[in-house]
Structure 1
């Protein structure tokens, strides 16, 4: 009886430690919880397949996104803030949801697709964008925390590797996030959209 219980325990432990396949690691989120999405998320790390954009991405001091409460199951807005050279840049996006996939309103394009991806991190969010029919990809890891555990970062690095993207750039958690945007803030100006609505 004890031997059988130990065997079962080993089998269960073994099944949990088996590495996930790439298909499992980068799969779209099964179900998007809009209530969970609401609020501010700090950018922890990201990878961009286009080297010039990745280099520009690495220059950021910090970044975050803030999702607003929505009155619809299919439409939601968020403001992205980026701290760059001690200045904050803000831009607000409206997106249309279709399950875990989304499109930016007013930019419907057959060459663009995006989705929220699965992560085992309980307070993290993954945004995966593909432009130019998948030739260019952006993959962003956000969290309610500024710094994640090593195993959580290892999972993200494995996901990036599965997508054949460059190693991710990790944000410095000691750098302050931009404050909430206010109408009187002179630095709160929209940034150009040349990098694929990130």
Structure 2
């Protein structure tokens, strides 16, 4: 009887282990069957950086959003962003080149190369490596359409971040903070404003420490 019970428990354990996704499955690059699903606005909800200097840099970012837009070139996507740090709104845009599942672009002084990971419905999970002269680092950043995320999806993100050896004390924010400041800009105002926005946020400090 005891032997039968032990065999039963071992069977359950093996089934449980088999059903749990491993790290290789969790961190595979991902692209939806309909790339159009990626376009539009996404609001940052949590993330992590590596090494610790860049992980800590996320503390300066109190709110952030990105927008992805198609171009006439199927291999190019326009990335537009708005960050709120040091009580300033920082805007910018750049064209990203897509090759297979990988996207590359230059933001501020850094060259970025990364891809999407499988994530929750209505979510976008981005991870990349970047180089700024002789300095390198990486990020993992979770976005959603609403700026909110279900607790079970937070746990899934934590598992993915752990698989990639990011710090476990990931950053998360009330993503509505600072959004009011962004909403006051029309498209035309934004177009003119983003050219000088980097003068805000104490340029040297923001571009060196807050290197996204």
TM-score by length of 1: 0.77
How far residue 131 of structure 1 moved from its aligned partner, in angstroms, is 3.5
Give the aligned partner of residue 168 of structure 1: 170
Q: Does 1:128 align with 2:159?
A: no
- The 1:106/1:174 distance shift into structure 2, 3 A limit, reads closer
Runs of 4+ displaced beyond 4 Å: 191-197
**Unaligned 5+ residue runs, structure 1?**
1-10
- The 1:186/1:148 distance shift into structure 2, 3 A limit, reads closer
d(CA) in 2 for partners of 1:126, 1:73? 21
Q: What is the root-mean-square deviation of aligned Cα atoms in Å? A: 3.3
Count of equivalent residues: 182
Give the helix-richer structure, 1 or 2.
2
Maintained 8 Å contact 1:116/1:128 = yes
d(CA) in 1 for partners of 2:161, 2:79? 24
d(CA) in 2 for partners of 1:139, 1:63? 14
Give the aligned partner of residue 114 of structure 1: 114
Give the strand-richer structure, 1 or 2.
2
d(CA) in 1 for partners of 2:128, 2:178? 26
**Unaligned 5+ residue runs, structure 2?**
1-11
Maintained 8 Å contact 1:89/1:187 = no
TM-score by length of 2: 0.73
Q: Does 1:149 align with 2:150?
A: yes
d(CA) in 2 for partners of 1:151, 1:75? 34
Maintained 8 Å contact 1:31/1:99 = no
Q: Give per-residue Cα distances to partners, 1:143-166, cap 9 Å, x unaligned.
A: 102110011110101011001110
User: Residues 49-64 of structure 1: matches in 2 within 5 Å?
Assistant: 49-64=50-65
Deviates more, 1:50-59 or 1:21-30: 50-59
Q: Does 1:189 align with 2:188?
A: no
